Structure 1
């Protein structure tokens, strides 16, 4: 369940809340709300600062109880760092750390005055949305496959209010984006014996049935065979779970307006196929459908916002398994576009399902195509866990996506997509090989996809490093939902 967001009406010293949140800079400068609390307590906050009990170190949190003169039961003081260096990234960190601290408290509601803090270059709406999304991100709990516990803590954060008059639209946008992020996270976190291709298609159909103006078509194996999707079907042929191609449409701009198109890689589990992966860490390959989850989450948010655009979302959902019927290294597949592909590695399967999905979506004559995929480990090596890889030959589109990522702190970094790299994909037995060798693996994967998007404005987001947190307890993050939704909001404006 998404957190409920609202605007705070009372003053920080008089609001009746289980917990209120205020900021403190590292040079002991109090924010406006913290100064009001200090006055109400007769200098109590400054005394705690002077004694060292509260620090303004960036990201630090200190919980105070039952302050005299303050109505709220708890005050959470969040460190903002150096006031002279305070920026959007510092604000984002403070919002996240305060939300992380809230998650551990037995409170159902809270009120934050972080949104009153001045952030250079950012307006009130940005601050409210950023704080709200951080709160919802941290409050998320995955419970779908746990046995209910009788002694589980009954109280969890359900609502949060923020300082900020007249920011109702920002609240609406935050609520919709948070809903899309949660939709994507839940899909990503479910185990692959539940979240298989049929499950993903069912979730798309359920959403469409519940929302006016949304249509959903699910293509089955026979449909894809009739269309000539030999590349996608080659990957799918080793699995007992049949592939699905889910196609969602939102007609918010009316007939005759070319849509924006989102395409997602939905490998619900990736063993690597015959080129099987090492066993260590293979359980994380349930997250290989997070590109699909991300574009579905962005579609959900766009519909909830009823954006005045036309939007198509195509999700290729497939399981990549080793089997007597699996495709093999050295197989040659014929894609829907007609291009033949030599398979050099069956673990480079994401691009093989995406190329057919990218060809299929062109039937809608989209004005822009954006795909999202957990495509390459090479992108994780290049950019780590902080930035998604962005590849496009369209400078304007690149700038728009980068700006959307910076605005939502769902950041991307542009990698080159020069034709110089295309030679690495040359094959002696087909039009193109599915891998380009050991160097520039993320880029050659993008170059492969580029061969199937000629004549269209297209961008590729490699979210292999950003779509989930590593480790046995790592969760899906919901990225790149915020980036994609911000991009669509900007276009609708």
Structure 2
């Protein structure tokens, strides 16, 4: 399964494409200090008899301000949107926000074709190819509208085609621009794949349904190697911690492994491990009822693995990556795990489960042990693990903790490059005492209210001594409660950038 909104993203240069005769539903002109010298813009304004320049003078006062013009006589575009561009000092999130707004406006106007003249200004330290990739990624991922569980009120995205216009590019430079758009398109598709899986209601997205969707990836991406493990398989591998989480549910747990081999056979893979709790009541340690519906997004770590693997396969990327999706439903019943129960993990370490609502780490620890069999270069897990990270960092950055500083640095750098930001929290030896208990090798919670995000990572670190590992807590970034409840697809952009840039040595 893949979830792609747009049919095509093209890159054309104004040297060979006239703005006047361009057949498009919506033409967006990003106006900056260089626009007045752009020959294509000058010709367009002449055809409008100066109307476009007058509209710029009267309406575009502040950065980000915009005006929508109806069809102008002599110009084929059905509508023209003028938007005051940002300068090179504007932070990345403002660039993303600008193009998010354009994608949503295109759907609102029921535009089928969108054409954007981005201008040749971009954030300091970036280049035009970064801008083109960002535009393609952002338009694709924000043209998305979830409607799968609607009948009478369903709204589908109208937007189907995007053309990005450059000025003065030809030959190899234009080819590079087209490759950047292709990369951005694939990352945007990966974001949508993750969002779509997360947005599905829990009764439409159980571990077994996810299993079917993962297996269906073979139709789009036949090169992927996919294996699924049922509860009997997990039991044979002695994953007592993983299995303890789904014990109270009628929905059986599943673990899916997706292998992508596009690199050298001698190259060790990067491993991605995602938490996939398809619904989290908290179990016997029951959550409060407020906003419990949002616990359908507790599988966004697994959804991110799904999205990244889709991106890599779409691009035929020259990398080796293993993705593990650890899926279970955490319910309360007579069969459910109880506080104080002790289980044995795949690693052989016993765990006293003091809080059944700290369940994500219980599936992850066995998945992290399992992934060691692939002899990975690096292992990165991502999970909606703690409410504490929401308080610590808010929705703007995912929390990163690691046993390897280089890996942590590269994750944070990829976040800055992609606009999908992350921030490192410490993982010191002092934090390890939180896992101590008199009744097992480890406790799944400890330390009281302080440093909850770090203590969760400290627990996971007990299972990652054999490789270089980082944990990304996405509880604040994978979905939002306001202004509308929705998945974001993060950290697919960050992870895609990290892997595709090949900066991780």
- TM-score range with shorter-chain normalisation? over 0.9
* Alpha-carbon separation, structure 2, partners of 1:372 and 1:423: 23
Match of 1:137 among 132, 138, 141: 141
Match of 1:70 among 66, 75, 80: 75
* Alpha-carbon separation, structure 2, partners of 1:455 and 1:129: 36
Tell me if structure 2 keeps the 8 A contact 1:245–1:315: yes
Q: List runs of 5+ in structure 2 lacking aligned partners.
A: 167-173
| Alignment-derived partner of residue 21 in structure 1 | 28
Tell me if structure 2 keeps the 8 A contact 1:209–1:215: no
Tell me if structure 2 keeps the 8 A contact 1:358–1:453: yes
Tell me if structure 1 keeps the 8 A contact 2:339–2:353: yes
CA positional deviation for 1:8: 2.9
* Alpha-carbon separation, structure 2, partners of 1:185 and 1:285: 14
> Are positions 1:392 and 2:402 aligned together?
yes
The alpha-carbon distance between structure 1 residues 270 and 120, as it changes in their structure 2 partners (threshold 3 A), is: same
What TM-score, normalized to structure 1? 0.93
* Residues 327-342 of structure 1 mapped to structure 2, 5 A cutoff: 327-342=337-352
| Alignment-derived partner of residue 160 in structure 1 | 162
SS at match of 2:203: coil
* Alpha-carbon separation, structure 1, partners of 2:139 and 2:34: 25
Per-residue Cα deviation, 1:448-482 (whole angstroms, up to 9, x for no partner): 11110002111111111111121594121111111
* Alpha-carbon separation, structure 1, partners of 2:157 and 2:261: 40
Match of 2:376 among 362, 366, 377: 366
Per-residue Cα deviation, 1:410-450 (whole angstroms, up to 9, x for no partner): 11111111111111222121112111221011111111111
SS at match of 1:101: helix
Tell me if structure 2 keeps the 8 A contact 1:31–1:117: no
> Are positions 1:207 and 2:212 aligned together?
no
| Alignment-derived partner of residue 219 in structure 1 | 229
* Alpha-carbon separation, structure 2, partners of 1:388 and 1:291: 12
| Alignment-derived partner of residue 55 in structure 1 | 60
Tell me if structure 1 keeps the 8 A contact 2:89–2:123: no
| Alignment-derived partner of residue 464 in structure 1 | 475
CA positional deviation for 1:97: 2.0
| Alignment-derived partner of residue 18 in structure 2 | 11
Tell me if structure 2 keeps the 8 A contact 1:400–1:487: yes
Per-residue Cα deviation, 1:177-197 (whole angstroms, up to 9, x for no partner): 122111111110111111000
Tell me if structure 1 keeps the 8 A contact 2:71–2:78: yes
SS at match of 2:216: helix
Per-residue Cα deviation, 1:111-157 (whole angstroms, up to 9, x for no partner): 001153343221222111111111112210111111155xx778811
Match of 2:124 among 114, 120, 143: 120
CA positional deviation for 1:28: 11
Higher alpha-carbon deviation: 392-401 or 7-16:
7-16
Tell me if structure 1 keeps the 8 A contact 2:140–2:189: no
Tell me if structure 2 keeps the 8 A contact 1:61–1:101: no
What TM-score, normalized to structure 2? 0.91
* Alpha-carbon separation, structure 1, partners of 2:320 and 2:197: 24
The alpha-carbon distance between structure 1 residues 254 and 47, as it changes in their structure 2 partners (threshold 3 A), is: closer
The alpha-carbon distance between structure 1 residues 218 and 105, as it changes in their structure 2 partners (threshold 3 A), is: same
| Alignment-derived partner of residue 93 in structure 1 | 97
CA positional deviation for 1:316: 0.6
SS at match of 1:193: helix
| Alignment-derived partner of residue 170 in structure 2 | none
CA positional deviation for 1:93: 2.5
* Residues 86-485 of structure 1 mapped to structure 2, 5 A cutoff: 86-148=90-152, 156-164=158-166, 165-166=174-175, 167-208=177-218, 210-436=220-446, 437-471=448-482, 473-485=484-496
The alpha-carbon distance between structure 1 residues 301 and 28, as it changes in their structure 2 partners (threshold 3 A), is: closer
Tell me if structure 1 keeps the 8 A contact 2:138–2:188: no
Higher alpha-carbon deviation: 121-130 or 163-172:
163-172
CA positional deviation for 1:68: 4.3
Tell me if structure 2 keeps the 8 A contact 1:348–1:434: yes
Tell me if structure 1 keeps the 8 A contact 2:133–2:182: no
* Alpha-carbon separation, structure 1, partners of 2:74 and 2:308: 45
Tell me if structure 2 keeps the 8 A contact 1:411–1:483: yes
Q: CA RMSD in A?
A: 2.2
* Alpha-carbon separation, structure 1, partners of 2:27 and 2:357: 49
Q: List runs of 5+ in structure 1 lacking aligned partners.
A: none
SS at match of 1:186: helix
SS at match of 1:385: helix
SS at match of 2:334: coil
* Alpha-carbon separation, structure 1, partners of 2:116 and 2:408: 35
The count of corresponding residues between Structure 1 and Structure 2 is 487
* Alpha-carbon separation, structure 1, partners of 2:211 and 2:313: 18
Higher alpha-carbon deviation: 264-273 or 219-228:
219-228
Tell me if structure 2 keeps the 8 A contact 1:61–1:98: no
CA positional deviation for 1:333: 1.4
Match of 2:5 among 2, 5, 16: 2
CA positional deviation for 1:341: 1.2
Tell me if structure 2 keeps the 8 A contact 1:95–1:114: no
